[in-house]
């Protein structure tokens, strides 16, 4: 079987192109979309993410500000900063890069971000709205994955979607989004018995567990659509996904590459969400109607 590559680089360009006019319209109203990224310490994946976010935002004319804090920063300091950004009308989106160092309670920090500025869609209010099929913002990676299904006209309704991984960032919100699109959803994780028996039943398999090449050709049903969310370095320092592409290729009907698949889409959706939020602030004539 010929496997069709789901090209995230190309699709991300398309998503960004459809933002250009919207950003111009905002600017004619005196509004420049602005995203603030808070970084505490910083691992390798985070650095890639930050670099790519910057480059993309700059090209589009979205303002980004990075606030870099020491790894040893106090939680109270971080919370004070978020409060200031929540109150700043020039800021439309706030993203706190995860993971955070151990001394900081990530849950408390995410809770502190005003839901209307929560571009990641991680705040419990936004998670709840998503689960009730009335989303305010979608987590960027699952939102980016959904774009592939729309772009390539791949039906989701009635399909069996199997998700490997139950993280707050990908697995859980992805399950909610697929359920909202009338899929039958199975979430598998480290405690799942006979996990590979379930992955073989998937019409659509979404893998987000952070284990290099965990899913191989034998683990999928021929013709399945496979979405690889992983970004791991193998022993040679090469970037590899959670899927073994050599064996899944020619067995899957569609497959996202790594790199160039889900990663660029995550960034494109982050930009789109920032623009969405800036438009909402403009619609209300600068007045903050979401008093939270
Ligand atoms: N609050 C928060 N939200 C996140 O969404 C979030 C986060 N924290 N922490 C870190 C992870 C990681 N992440 C990436 C997104 C895109 C690429 C990306 O652009 N990847 C490209 C480039 C790879 C390369 O340059 O080597 C690709 O896959 O093609 C990478 C990593 C978002 N995350
Ligand atoms: Mg990728």
Q: What would the pLDDT profile of 214-227 be if each residue is shown by its tens digit?
A: 999 999 999 999 99
Burial class of residue 243 (count of CB atoms within 10 Å of its CB; 0-12, 13-18, 19+): buried
- Domains in the chain, start-ordered, CATH in brackets? 140-263 (3.40.50.720)
* pTM greater than the 0.90 cutoff: yes
What are the two backbone dihedrals, phi and then psi, of residue 275, each rounded to the nearest 5 degrees?
-65, -40
Instruction: Tell me which residue has its CA closest to atom 21 in ligand 1.
Output: 263
Instruction: Tell me which residue has its CA closest to atom 18 in ligand 1.
Output: 263
Ligand 1 pocket, CB under 6 A? 45-46, 48-49, 52, 95-98, 120, 140-141, 231, 239, 258-260, 263-264, 266-267
The pLDDT, as a whole number, for residue 1 is: 85
The pLDDT, as a whole number, for residue 287 is: 47
**CA angle at 167 for the pair 163 and 168, rounded to the nearest 5°:** 120
Instruction: Tell me which residue has its CA closest to atom 31 in ligand 1.
Output: 49
The pLDDT, as a whole number, for residue 286 is: 47
- What element of type H or E holds 90? none
Instruction: Tell me which residue has its CA closest to atom 1 in ligand 1.
Output: 97
Other C-beta atoms within 10 Å of 7: how many? 19
- What element of type H or E holds 51? helix 44-60
How many A from CA of 169 to the centre of ligand 2? 15
Whether 53 is a known active-site residue: answer: yes
The pLDDT, as a whole number, for residue 46 is: 77
The closest alpha carbon to 270, from 124, 137, 133, 89, belongs to: 137
Q: What is the DSSP letter of 243?
A: B
Q: Which of 52, 210, 258 to mutate to test the pocket of ligand 1 (most atoms within 8 A of CB)?
A: 52
The pLDDT, as a whole number, for residue 130 is: 98
Tokens of 91: 């800021």
Whether 97 is a known active-site residue: answer: yes
How many A from CA of 33 to the centre of ligand 2? 26
The pLDDT, as a whole number, for residue 285 is: 53
108 is in an annotated binding site: no
Tokens of 95: 């993203």
Whether 125 is a known active-site residue: answer: no
Dihedral angle of Cα 217, 222, 228, 234, to the nearest 10 degrees: 10
Cα–Cα dist 117/91, whole Å: 8
Burial class of residue 236 (count of CB atoms within 10 Å of its CB; 0-12, 13-18, 19+): exposed
Residues of the chain below pLDDT 50: 286-292
The closest alpha carbon to 26, from 279, 284, 281, belongs to: 279
Q: Which residues contact residue 49 at a Cβ distance below 8 angstroms, ignoring those fewer than 6 apart? A: 97, 266, 267
167 is in an annotated binding site: yes
């Amino acid at each position: 079987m010929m496997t069709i590559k789901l090209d995230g680089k190309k699709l991300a360009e398309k998503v960004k192109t459809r933002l250009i006019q919207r950003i111009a319209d905002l600017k004619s109203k005196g509004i420049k979309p602005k995203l603030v990224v808070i970084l505490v310490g910083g691992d390798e994946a985070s650095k890639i993410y930050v670099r790519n976010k910057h480059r993309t935002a700059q090209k589009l004319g979205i303002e980004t500000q990075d606030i870099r804090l020491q790894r040893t920063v106090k939680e109270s300091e971080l919370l004070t900063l978020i409060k200031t950004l929540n109150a700043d009308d020039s800021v439309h989106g706030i993203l706190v890069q995860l993971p955070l160092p151990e001394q900081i309670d990530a849950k408390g920090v995410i809770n502190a971000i005003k839901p209307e500025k929560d571009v990641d869609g991680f705040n419990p209010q936004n998670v709840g709205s998503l689960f009730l099929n009335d989303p305010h913002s979608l987590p960027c990676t699952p939102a980016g994955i959904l774009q592939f299904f729309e772009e390539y006209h791949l039906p989701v309704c009635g399909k069996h979607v199997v998700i490997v991984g139950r993280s707050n960032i990908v697995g859980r919100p992805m399950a909610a989004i697929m359920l909202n699109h009338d899929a039958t959803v199975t979430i598998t994780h480290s405690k799942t018995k006979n996990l590979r028996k379930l992955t073989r039943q998937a019409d659509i398999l979404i893998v987000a567990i952070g284990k290099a090449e965990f899913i191989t050709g034998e683990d999928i049903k021929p013709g399945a659509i496979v979405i690889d969310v992983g970004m791991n370095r193998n022993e040679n320092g090469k970037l590899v996904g959670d899927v073994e592409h050599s064996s899944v290729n020619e067995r899957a009907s569609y497959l996202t590459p790594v790199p160039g698949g889900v990663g660029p889409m995550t960034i494109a959706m982050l930009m789109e969400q920032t623009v969405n939020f800036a438009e909402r602030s403009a619609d209300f004539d600068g007045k903050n109607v979401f008093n939270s």
